[in-house]
Structure 1
Amino acid sequence: MMALTISTVIVGLVCPVLFIGVAESSRILCIDPSLGKSHALVSQTLLRGLAERGHEITMVSSFKMSKPVANFREILIPLKNDFTSKQMKGFLEKPPNMLLEFPSFITRILVVVNETVNNPEVVALKKEKFDLVIVGYFIADFVLGFGPHFGAPTVVLWTGGLSKMMADLVGNPMEIAASQNPFLGHQDSTKFSTRFKKFLLAGVENVLITFAMHNQRFYYDWNFPSDRYPSYEDVRKNVSLLLLNSHFTHSGPRPYLQNAVEVGGLQIKQKPDPLPKDIQDWLDGAEHGAIYFCLGSNLKSTDLPAHKMEIFVKSLGKLKQRILWKWEAGSLPNQPTNVMTKSWLPQDDVLAHKNVVLFITHGGLGGIAEARFHGVPILGIPIFAEQSGNVATVIREGWGLEVKYETLSEATLSKLVNEVLTNSSYRQKAKEISTLYRDRPKTAMETACYWVEYVIRHKGAPHMHYQGADLNFFQLYMLDVIAVILCVFYLAIKIFKIVYAGIVKLVGKKQTKRKLH
């Protein structure tokens, strides 16, 4: 009996070790040409998780990891073109019309990304061997050519929810009438006016995608010539897995293919890291709570126009709460005593602190996801892109408010801040939303790693490829079939009319002959 027990223990200890030993360690290359640190952070988080599971990671990015990780090689390509920072500063001076800005934005992004992939260090990677390519998607999908170059499956990681550009990569249906549009937020789709707006937005999106693809084809053909690589169109149809940093509890339920997987909140740690001592002490000592103020990684508080800056300083300086403000350079002019500034803050860890009672944000999806996870009410100040839709969703759910940046005033800002701080319903609703957001069978990281490794195990998982990805618009909606049916129906009617007319004419002739006789 003792021998049997000892044997059982030995087997129990040895088997997991043997299992770990035979678990395949793959070489994974990530190309993340994102121009914003918040986008690259999501890719870094996934890759860190994969590295911890024993995979050998190489990441091409413009942003360095905050901490070194084993099995992780970074190839840092500094951004030579500073148009992003200039453009974001312009957005704070005058909020943009994204429809008008998009074409020039696309054109300049493609130039920057092309410089990245032609950097000597990146070119040298083409001589190596990789088992999987992960693309941190940032508009420039011509980099999908790295997959066929290595003969490796391709996984696309997108920091937002499902859009037409993403859906096309795997053929996922959009269902624009019923699904939530990120630029509109949640609206009642039973109303004709809502569906009309969605229809128009879908049309605009298709035009912009066509423009982007037309411009990208040149860069694809330049980097991946047709004599050695599949066509740009074929590469876009050969994505094995699409990971979306969204979750149905905020983006709304919608149909997904098996290879389109939501991993919303991927960058959020289940257990926050310790804060730097000065920040920890500042938040711990916030007797009346603390407010976290951040405009994201691209927009900078230091670029705020002077009159807008004065509004924030005066309004927040009057509060009894302590303020933790992401301020990117030097000291804050006329800085109130209740304000602490830092050029960069560990946002996820800050929002996890029990004394943070309000998050003043531009409405980026990453920040809202972190506030949702930690149950922190929001005051949104959307500037551009989908930020208005994100904040609109928060308002609809009842755990935040919005202040219009264009009409921002000290009175309005103070009123809305006090409303969220003094009305307990916002805090209560944020906690309910947090519970809903956290309730999953697996964490976002576990889900993402499982499906990435699934694709590796099954050599690209071709059995998950949806035929809809191979069909054009006319084939997908069977317009060609409908056209043939209509033509056959039309011809049948024409033939029937001709035959009928012939019969009538023949019968008429016979009747005429009878009358003559």
Structure 2
Amino acid sequence: MNLLIFLTCVTICAKDVLSARILGVFMTPSYSHQVVYQPIWKELSLRGHDVTVITPNPLHDPKLTNLTEIDVSSSYKIFREANEAELLFKKSMLGEVKRFSMLYEKLNHHQFSNPEVQALIRNKNQTFDLLLVEYLYPSMYALKDVFDCPMIGITSLGLTAYGNEIIGNPKNPAFDPDNTFTVSSNLSFMERLSSAAFDIFTRISSKYILLKKLDKLLPQYIGQEIRPLHEICMEFSLVIVNSNLALRNAKPTVPNLIDISGIHLQKPRPLPEDLRCFLNSSNEGVIYTSLGSNMKSALLPQYKLDAIMEVFSQLPYKVLWKFEKEDLPNKPANVEIRKWLPQQDVLSHPNVKLFISQAGLQSIDEALLGKVPMLLVPFFADQHFNAHHMVEKGAALSLDYHTATKEEFKNSILELMNNPKYQNHVDELSSIASDQMVPALEKAVWWIEYVLRHDGAKHLSYSGKHIPFYQFYMLDLLAVFITSVVLFIYISVFTIKRIFQLLSYMRKSIKTKKSKNIGYYKGTNTHIYSFF
């Protein structure tokens, strides 16, 4: 009997740890995106799964024997050129949507035409048990049909309006604007109106413009017939989102949307000796400046650099600046530049008192880990939303790159360095962000293996995602209700009006009849009186 129980337990455990063949497709040529995905595919490989990944940032780790990486890093050139254009002039939100749609098309052409990607797609003997795909590139969802397997989406950002729609996640744009909107909460009437209009526009443009274009693009690269992308989009088993309540507003979510946060964060490591000495000697406080991996400081036009350096030279603090060139002419004496810096470790140093950042989500994660207030200068995508959210939470100030003056820049720095309220709010948000039941990586991998264990986990999917929007928001029922009420009121008013008309007519008739009778009697009496 004991042997039977033991064998049963071994069988169950073996079923749980069986190796699966997993395809990961993480296409954004941006290191800040890839650092969210890298720990996941690495851990899956370490757990014995056979993992193949298409990525612009391969790990190239020889110890990961279960991992095959297809390198599409050549697409960085396309992404870099698009980001450089952002520095030249300011775009509207609709202009941003158009720009990213065009960028996606270019990246799709480039990455799909990669010889290794083509060899993978056209290999008829290739099979996978699961597709992990970046929840941003709808064209890559087509690989679900190519390999006929369940699909999980993972995103390093919050969800777009259409991203919420395809899993049936409720979203009210008046109180929960799109993550590419310019504000995050406490919207005025006009902002709510703009948010609702933007929400509708992005849903329509995603579903009826972008997806239609991609449907025409895919056949030349897929080499087989697949369903329209809007149908494939509805079949996500699970969506994993890099977010938590310190970084977003509280809102309802469907069961197959899983929040993780800080998956790329690590314990502080020892700094290089020269950097450690620089920070240790800066008792007055250090301002750390970095515009991230996409919007590099070295790309700024000279007049902007001159303005920034003039402000830095007037400050009583040292500045550590991630500047991606060897030399910076006219650099102030209090400024130290490095082409690369271990950002998490720098932000964890106690002498770093302010972080000047582009408001990327991963940078904000790292600032909260190090408990450092922020001066945010957003450029594109979700950065405006992130900046507004941090300002609303009291942990940061924000400046418009295109319009901010030197005085505003200097005053914002001094306000953040000297007013303790920002540090207090950062401490609160840091506590919220770090207080997690299980580590983010463990949570993400558990849910991925959950989907494998349950053959796609269809029971997590919300059935409401399939119904038209007018049914979801009960617009048809509301229309019937309003029509019924209006019809009832109309019939009631009409009936009452007719009753009053009838009563009035009857009253007039009776009055007229009485008048005639009185006249008749009066005439008779007169006649009688005169007769006598």
Instruction: Give the TM-score taking structure 2 as reference length.
Output: 0.82
Could you tell me how far apart the structure 2 residues matched to 1:484 and 1:289 are?
65
Could you tell me how far apart the structure 1 residues matched to 2:366 and 2:77 are?
28
8 Å CA contact 1:48–1:69 kept in 2: the answer is no
8 Å CA contact 1:91–1:384 kept in 2: the answer is yes
Paired residue for 2:97?
A: 102
Query: Structure 1 residue 78: deviation in Å?
Result: 3.1
8 Å CA contact 2:347–2:370 kept in 1: the answer is yes
Decide whether aligned partners of structure 1 residues 49 and 278 sit closer, same or farther in structure 2, where only a CA change above 3 A counts: farther
Q: How many residues align?
A: 491
Paired residue for 2:155?
A: 158
1:344 maps to 2:323:
no
Decide whether aligned partners of structure 1 residues 169 and 45 sit closer, same or farther in structure 2, where only a CA change above 3 A counts: farther
Paired residue for 2:528?
A: none
Paired residue for 1:26?
A: 20
Residues 183-236 of structure 1 show CA distances to partners (whole Å, capped at 9, x for unaligned) of 2434336x64443232222223224323222222212344446x6433322211
Which of 37, 44, 57 is the matching residue for 2:38?
A: 44
8 Å CA contact 1:36–1:298 kept in 2: the answer is yes
Residues 42-61 of structure 1 show CA distances to partners (whole Å, capped at 9, x for unaligned) of 11132223333333322211
8 Å CA contact 2:211–2:230 kept in 1: the answer is no
Which of 120, 125, 136 is the matching residue for 2:134?
A: 136
Could you tell me how far apart the structure 2 residues matched to 1:222 and 1:478 are?
41
Paired residue for 1:249?
A: 246
Q: Secondary structure at the match of 2:74?
A: coil
1:443 maps to 2:439:
yes
Q: Could you tell which deviates more after superposition, 74-83 or 424-433?
A: 74-83
Decide whether aligned partners of structure 1 residues 156 and 376 sit closer, same or farther in structure 2, where only a CA change above 3 A counts: same
Decide whether aligned partners of structure 1 residues 233 and 288 sit closer, same or farther in structure 2, where only a CA change above 3 A counts: same
- Structure 2: which amino acid aligns with 1:220? L
- Structure 2: which amino acid aligns with 1:391? A
Residues 146-171 of structure 1 show CA distances to partners (whole Å, capped at 9, x for unaligned) of 12322221111111112212112312
Query: Structure 1 residue 124: deviation in Å?
Result: 2.3
Paired residue for 1:364?
A: 360
Query: Structure 1 residue 89: deviation in Å?
Result: 2.1
- Structure 2: which amino acid aligns with 1:24? L
Could you tell me how far apart the structure 2 residues matched to 1:108 and 1:180 are?
23
Q: Secondary structure at the match of 1:93?
A: coil
- Structure 2: which amino acid aligns with 1:392? H
Q: Secondary structure at the match of 1:237?
A: helix
Instruction: Give the TM-score taking structure 1 as reference length.
Output: 0.84
Which of 265, 287, 291 is the matching residue for 2:287?
A: 291
1:58 maps to 2:56:
no
8 Å CA contact 2:139–2:229 kept in 1: the answer is yes
Q: Secondary structure at the match of 1:379?
A: strand
Q: Secondary structure at the match of 1:406?
A: coil
Residues 392-419 of structure 1 show CA distances to partners (whole Å, capped at 9, x for unaligned) of 2211211211223223333322221122
Q: After superposition, where does 1:305-454 map in structure 2 within 5 Å?
A: 305-454=301-450
- Structure 2: which amino acid aligns with 1:157? I
Query: Structure 1 residue 453: deviation in Å?
Result: 1.2
8 Å CA contact 1:361–1:380 kept in 2: the answer is yes
Decide whether aligned partners of structure 1 residues 393 and 492 sit closer, same or farther in structure 2, where only a CA change above 3 A counts: closer
Paired residue for 2:70?
A: 75
| Percent pairwise identity | 30
- Structure 2: which amino acid aligns with 1:187? S
Query: Structure 1 residue 252: deviation in Å?
Result: 0.7
Paired residue for 2:79?
A: 84
Q: Secondary structure at the match of 1:358?
A: strand
Decide whether aligned partners of structure 1 residues 87 and 142 sit closer, same or farther in structure 2, where only a CA change above 3 A counts: closer
Q: Secondary structure at the match of 1:75?
A: strand
Unaligned runs of 5+ in 1: 1-14, 497-517
- Structure 1: which amino acid aligns with 2:104? I
Q: Secondary structure at the match of 2:202?
A: helix
Query: Structure 1 residue 176: deviation in Å?
Result: 2.4
Paired residue for 1:9?
A: none
Unaligned runs of 5+ in 2: 1-8, 493-532
Query: Structure 1 residue 27: deviation in Å?
Result: 2.4
1:174 maps to 2:184:
no
Could you tell me how far apart the structure 2 residues matched to 1:80 and 1:464 are?
35
Q: Could you tell which deviates more after superposition, 403-412 or 19-28?
A: 19-28
Query: Structure 1 residue 481: deviation in Å?
Result: 5.6
Residues 296-330 of structure 1 show CA distances to partners (whole Å, capped at 9, x for unaligned) of 11112111111110122222234343322121122
Q: Secondary structure at the match of 1:82?
A: helix
Query: Structure 1 residue 333: deviation in Å?
Result: 1.7
- Structure 1: which amino acid aligns with 2:97? F
Q: Could you tell which deviates more after superposition, 356-365 or 274-283?
A: 274-283
Paired residue for 1:217?
A: 215
Decide whether aligned partners of structure 1 residues 28 and 397 sit closer, same or farther in structure 2, where only a CA change above 3 A counts: same
Query: Structure 1 residue 40: deviation in Å?
Result: 1.9
Which of 219, 240, 249 is the matching residue for 2:237?
A: 240
8 Å CA contact 2:360–2:386 kept in 1: the answer is yes
Decide whether aligned partners of structure 1 residues 458 and 105 sit closer, same or farther in structure 2, where only a CA change above 3 A counts: same
- Structure 2: which amino acid aligns with 1:203? I
Could you tell me how far apart the structure 2 residues matched to 1:130 and 1:88 are?
35
Q: Secondary structure at the match of 1:250?
A: coil
8 Å CA contact 1:46–1:449 kept in 2: the answer is yes
Query: Structure 1 residue 487: deviation in Å?
Result: 8.6
Paired residue for 1:123?
A: 118
Query: Structure 1 residue 69: deviation in Å?
Result: 5.4
Q: Could you tell which deviates more after superposition, 234-243 or 63-72?
A: 63-72
- Structure 1: which amino acid aligns with 2:423? R
Could you tell me how far apart the structure 2 residues matched to 1:216 and 1:481 are?
35
Paired residue for 2:29?
A: 35
- Structure 2: which amino acid aligns with 1:156? G
Decide whether aligned partners of structure 1 residues 69 and 390 sit closer, same or farther in structure 2, where only a CA change above 3 A counts: farther
8 Å CA contact 1:40–1:136 kept in 2: the answer is no
- Structure 2: which amino acid aligns with 1:413? F
Q: Secondary structure at the match of 1:86?
A: helix
Residues 434-473 of structure 1 show CA distances to partners (whole Å, capped at 9, x for unaligned) of 0121112122222211111111111110111211222222
1:112 maps to 2:107:
yes
Paired residue for 1:12?
A: none
**Bigger radius of gyration, 1 or 2?**
2
Could you tell me how far apart the structure 1 residues matched to 2:90 and 2:485 are?
54
Q: Secondary structure at the match of 2:403?
A: coil
RMSD: 3.6
Q: Secondary structure at the match of 2:349?
A: coil
Decide whether aligned partners of structure 1 residues 427 and 474 sit closer, same or farther in structure 2, where only a CA change above 3 A counts: closer
Could you tell me how far apart the structure 1 residues matched to 2:155 and 2:41 are?
14
Query: Structure 1 residue 430: deviation in Å?
Result: 1.1
Q: Secondary structure at the match of 1:170?
A: coil
1:93 maps to 2:88:
yes
